[in-house]
Amino acid sequence: MNDINPVISCKSVWKLFGGNAEKYLASMKKGQSFEQIRQAGYIAAVRDVSLDIARGEMLVIMGLSGSGKSTLVRCLSRLIDITGGEVKVDGQDIMDLNERELIDLRRKKMGMVFQSFGLLPHRTVLENVAFPLEMRGQDRHDRRERAMEVIKLVGLEGREEYFPRELSGGQQQRVGIARSLAIEPDIWFLDEPFSALDPLIRREMQDEFLRLQEILGKTIVFITHDFDEALRLADRIAIMKDGAVEQCDTPDKIVLNPATEYVAKFTEEIEKSRVIHAEVLTKPINGYKLEGASISADATILQLSRQLIGDNRDILPVTNKDGVLIGGMNRQEALNVLLGEN
């Protein structure tokens, strides 16, 4: 995630539904609320959104039904055209692409997984996974070989000749994930892929998804309405309301410092100590001499609870994964998080 050039960049993106929407947007006063726009006869499904998504980042977009999260992802992939603003993929404004160029972009760079599995019922697992390669024109041997690779990757080896009806819901979703991975996309869009699954299978799929991301390092835009799922998966979370992004930040910072009352409502039931990492509470030392054992920047406050309670130092040294000192953490501040006083 250190690439200075974002894979996806959107600037002041709008999607209005209604007649002559472009003309209305061009004449609209700045700062119009969702309700004011609605009273003018338009639905602001996406409202002045600006986001940069880094290479290898997993951005989770969340919000309640009707918040605009699915519409935003459709704008990012140009499944629908935006009313105003700019969306760039690897520096290319996708609104400038003709139909053939757009199809080529999706076939070569983008994978998509949706809540409905969308499997072809009369084709086997292998045939379902190979289908996008068939559409691309790859020969039978090559597409079978690639399909077998991703079937093994998602843990379905031995079931390649099964039909969708012979699989569980979780297994069917794995087929959908394998099919989207078959084309080796740089960018992966997932729209509530696990929401139809029961809680146990959903947790297993999240584990599997994290494992795949560790191996593949894709740039991912993942939609969910489940804050626990967002906290578990995201590098950053964008919380949407009425078409606008209320806050976009790391899970730690959203939980520790919600930007709006709306965002705070999402975080109020969350046990902060299991989300906030030592790094977020770390500050420069500024000449203060630190002594004794250090703590890991990647550790959550909950993981450090026993050490925090048993330690009597005011400031604890914090080191990164390479063992390099990056600053100090105020023990009392960490205890406040642990005890729910922050």
pLDDT per residue as tens digits for the range 290-312: 888 999 999 999 999 999 999 98
Q: What is the pLDDT of residues 195-248, one digit of tens each?
A: 777 788 788 888 888 888 888 888 999 999 888 899 999 999 999 999 999 999
User: What tokens appear for 301 in the block?
Assistant: 């406050």
Range ranked top by mean pLDDT from 11-20, 176-185, 190-199, 307-316: 11-20
pLDDT band at 137 (very low <50, low <70, confident <90, very high): confident
pLDDT band at 115 (very low <50, low <70, confident <90, very high): low
Please indicate whether residue 53 or residue 111 has the higher confidence score (pLDDT): 53
On the question of pLDDT at 3 being above 70, the answer is: no
Q: What is the pLDDT of residues 59-114, one digit of tens each?
A: 999 998 899 999 999 999 999 999 999 999 999 999 999 999 998 898 888 888 87
pLDDT band at 317 (very low <50, low <70, confident <90, very high): very high
Three-class SS state of 261: helix
Q: What is the pLDDT of residue 2?
A: 46
Return the CATH superfamily for domain 8-270: P-loop containing nucleotide triphosphate hydrolases (3.40.50.300)
Q: CA–CA separation, 7 vs 155, rounded Å?
A: 29
Return the CATH superfamily for domain 273-338: CBS-domain (3.10.580.10)
Question: How far apart, in Å, are the Cα atoms of 228 and each of 37, 199, 254, 269?
Answer: 32, 12, 13, 10
Using CA of residue 119, residue 123, residue 124, residue 125, what is the dihedral sign? negative
pLDDT band at 260 (very low <50, low <70, confident <90, very high): very high
Closest listed residue to residue 127, CA positions, set 157, 163, 99? 163
β-strands 110-114, 219-224 pairing: unpaired
Q: What is the pLDDT of residue 124?
A: 95
Which stretches of the chain are DSSP H helices? 21-27, 34-39, 69-76, 99-109, 125-136, 140-153, 169-181, 199-216, 227-233, 251-256, 261-267, 278-281, 305-310, 331-338
Residues ≥6 apart with Cβ < 8 Å to 273: 300, 301, 302, 305, 337, 338, 340
Identity of residue 128 = N
**Residue 132: how many other CB atoms lie within 10 Å:** 21
31 burial (CB, 10 Å; 0-12 / 13-18 / 19+) is: exposed
Mean pLDDT of 31-42: 93
β-strands 295-296, 325-330 pairing: unpaired
- The residues spanned by each domain of the chain are 8-270, 273-338
